[in-house]
């Protein structure tokens, strides 16, 4: 399989996931602002998940741009990541429907945690496929940002059972951390 086909497949899956999430936002019955305000928790969970999927899509794009080729291990590692990302829409709906209750917030964090681990795994498998002296290996380095993300997800999952809103804030903090463009790959790829 070519790298381009893997990218196209992954792009399609992420586009479908975003579509599924937005379809869960049901149109309210009523034309006043109060009726719309009743959807705030669903919209906030959707917005957070949209940002997360966008971040994964963006970083996935950069990761594959730095790769010269893919192999079977890369394909499976990519599917592993897409599996966890596919569960984001379910957790988003459950969390929004239940107004950020402890268990849905914790499950959301578990899914983000495993997606983070799967992304780290994909990066490591890609590095192995490209070689330890590749542009990708130099760009990723020790991946401190990725490790910090996983630690924050762990803290947020535990915290969700006592202060779910604090967990949501930590999820948002991780998103903000990744919204700041990660130029490591672009810098090492520059001529």
Q: What is the C-alpha to C-alpha distance for residues 98 and 107, in angstroms, rounded to an integer?
A: 12
Give the pLDDT band (50/70/90) at residue 188. low
Contact 46, 93 (CB under 8 A): no
Residue with the bigger pLDDT between 180 and 159: it is 159
111-154 pLDDT, tens digit per residue, is 999 999 999 999 999 999 999 888 888 888 888 989 999 999 99
Q: What pTM did the predictor assign?
A: 0.91
The residues near 28 (Cβ < 8 Å, ≥ 6 apart) are 35, 36, 38, 39
189: pLDDT strictly greater than 80: no
Q: What is the C-alpha to C-alpha distance for residues 104 and 93, in angstroms, rounded to an integer?
A: 9
Domain positions in the chain are 3-189
């Amino acid at each position: 399989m070519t790298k381009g086909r893997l990218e196209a497949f992954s792009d399609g899956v992420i586009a479908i996931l975003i579509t599924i999430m937005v379809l869960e936002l049901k149109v309210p019955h009523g034309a006043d602002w109060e009726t719309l305000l009743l959807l705030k928790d669903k919209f906030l969970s959707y917005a957070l998940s949209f940002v997360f999927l966008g971040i994964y899509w963006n970083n996935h794009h950069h990761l594959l741009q730095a790769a010269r080729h893919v192999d079977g291990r890369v394909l499976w590692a990519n599917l592993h990541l897409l599996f966890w990302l596919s569960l984001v829409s379910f957790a988003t709906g459950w969390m929004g429907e239940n107004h950020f209750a402890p268990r849905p917030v914790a499950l959301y964090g578990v899914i983000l945690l495993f997606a983070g681990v799967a992304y780290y795994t994909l990066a490591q498998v890609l590095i192995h496929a490209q070689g330890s002296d590749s542009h990708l290996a130099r760009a990723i380095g020790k991946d401190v940002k990725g490790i910090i993300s996983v630690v924050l997800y762990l803290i947020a999952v535990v915290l969700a059972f006592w202060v779910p809103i604090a967990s949501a804030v930590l999820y948002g903090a991780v998103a903000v951390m990744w919204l700041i463009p990660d130029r490591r790959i672009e810098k090492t790829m520059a001529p």
